[in-house]
Chain A
Amino acid sequence: MEYVSPEGLRLDGRRPMEMRQLRAELGAVSRADGSAVFEMGNTKVIAAVYGPREVQNRSQQINDKALIRCEYTMANFSTGDRMRKPKGDRRSTEISLVIRQTMEACIMTHLMPRSQIDIFVQVLQADGGTRSACINAATLALADAGIPMCDLVTSCSAGYLNSTPLLDLNYVEDSARGPDVTVGILPKLDKVTLLQMDAKLPMDIFENVMQLATEGCKAVANYIREVLLENTKQLENRRGV
């Protein structure tokens, strides 16, 4: 199948190095400490953060750090065919773990000893790149909850089809079973916290693809920063003196 047309356009009309449209909204869940909705094209994810709060299971309490828990779920209606999967299947357990580890890298857990932070992410619409969208939504929700973080974490995916590196794969491109590189970075510190790929790629091509994904992450970071700054200004102005 042809994923990039001779004119250099992808199936959904994007250029190879073009991202899907981003949209973010804070405060989607009223009872949570922090929450966000994040959209990348047709992929839509909602995240809610509760805490830092008292540890529910005393035996899990850590004396010098906060405990971080993460739960990833896909809504039944999120995919094309309505699926009824059991909660905790292998895929969602794995993604929960990935999100938890990337978030642990940026949260300053030592400032909140003996407490726990719960992150819940749910996919409302799945169109490829749910992993990245979830991480971006979780970052926004954590920032909204006022939890101290050493940096934002942003994530983006890139692939390699028809011998062209493609940024931000959608579902059709994802199901082509080509290489799919998901990268998560700390934009300010310029470090990589997440790198996943389940295929083989030659070294030089991999570098190009990863470079592309990193650029994508930076673009996401800029957008997230704008949203957060706008929100902070609005809250401060509303509050008044």
Chain B
Amino acid sequence: MRGMELSLNHTQKLRLQRALESLESLSSGTNSNASVTVADSIPVNQEDGVLKGHGTTDLDGEVVATVCGVIERVNKLVYVRTLRARYKPEVGDIIVGRVLEVAPKRWRLEINFSQDAVLMLSSMNLPDGIQRRRTAVDELNMRSIFEENDVVSAEVRDFMRDGSLQLQARSQKYGKLERGQLLTISPYLVKRRKQHFHHLEKYGIDLILGCNGFIWVGEHVEVKDDMVEDEHTPTKPDAKSNKSQISQSLEEQEQTYTPLETRQYICRIANAIRVLSTLGFSITLDVILEILDLSTKNGIDIHEMLGAEFCVLVAEKEAERRSLSTRKKR
């Protein structure tokens, strides 16, 4: 199996096989025969007229798939949804990326797309929270906002004419991510939802499920309100005291370290996501929390979560969960 380097013993192998088989039997009823591979022809009703979408092409009047995936039909539109592929951005997606380069007036971010994404300085909220034109000084101070290798959350703004991607981070909830872990998984495992930022109050953890398959698990940070920022602005401190403030806040940052318990929960959640992604299960908040409960209930240590036994347990749990949910529907 992909990405799995576990040595399962005989019983574990059998249990895993059985769990996966039951998963297969559960989902095979919903849409069988919808899977295609490269160069398979897709049956369509030519009389109605068809719109060929992504992953299809025309060959002698026949609609042919160009990627491996699942056929989706929406009215006249026929397209193939790929499974394992790079991220396909859509406007409004929430993503997590890593800064590769600080360029004039922009940052370049790696987001698992076919090109690097661009975050303009002008589509960022400045740290002082004032709306104004970006000056040359701001441009020189860009590294004080994001540096190379920083992890950043942002939103897809639009595509530029040449196909490259523009991001924006015009809200306090976007920005630099610190004190946590970045996980990269296949983007097809993350579904687009209303909510991608999750605050797990019970554990004091922020979880960001980026649509591009980059997942952030980190210590919870209080979102500063814009209104508070406005109150501060009238007492505009002069440059010198501002500087001292920054250095002080740096010291403070060093002092306020993440408590051990939170760090353990971060690792636990991260490992839960790792197990789910190696098994290829779709990743949602409910599933992650369920796996987290499973690990704590069975008294499994953090490092044991990546072992063979827990992997089998997760597969069995998921099979059970899905069979329950399908039964409820019926």
Contact = CB atoms under 8 A, between A and B. Distances in A.
Given A148-B55, A150-B39, A228-B38, A114 B68 contact: no
Contacts of B188: 235, 239
B70 A236 contact: yes
B27 A236 contact: yes
Contacts of A30: 2-3
B67 A229 contact: no
A229 B40 CA distance: 10
B37 interface: yes
A12 interface: no
Interface stretch (B83-91, B145-153, B198-206, B220-228): B83-91
Interface of B: 1-3, 20, 23-24, 26-28, 30, 35-40, 55, 57, 59, 64, 66-70, 82-86, 110, 114-116, 162-164, 188-189, 279-282, 318, 322
B163 A149 contact: no
5 contacts: A114-B163, A143-B37, A238-B281, A240-B322, A241-B30
B280 A239 contact: yes
A148 B37 CA distance: 11
A184 interface: no
Given A112-B114, A114-B163, A146-B86, 17 more contacts: A53-B86, A113-B163, A114-B114, A114-B164, A143-B38, A145-B86, A146-B84, A149-B39, A149-B66, A150-B57, A151-B38, A188-B59, A228-B38, A236-B83, A238-B279, A239-B188, A240-B27
A146 B114 CA distance: 12
Contacts of B40: 225
B83 A232 contact: yes
Contact-residue size bin, chain A (C-beta under 8 Å from the other chain): 35 or more
A228 B162 contact: no
A232 B35 contact: yes
B70 A232 contact: yes
A164 B1 CA distance: 42
Contacts of A115: 114-115
Interface string A212-241: 000000000000010011011111111111
A127 interface: no
Given A26-B2, A114-B164, A238 B115 contact: no
Contacts of A66: 114
Contact of A235 (B26, B36, B59, B83): B83
A229 B280 contact: no
A62 to B, nearest CB: 12
A215 B215 CA distance: 47
A228 B27 contact: no
Contacts of B38: 143, 149, 151-152, 228
Interface string A123-166: 00000000000000000000111111111100000000000000
A145 B35 contact: no
Contact of B67 (A51, A54, A147, A239): A147
B43 to A, nearest CB: 15
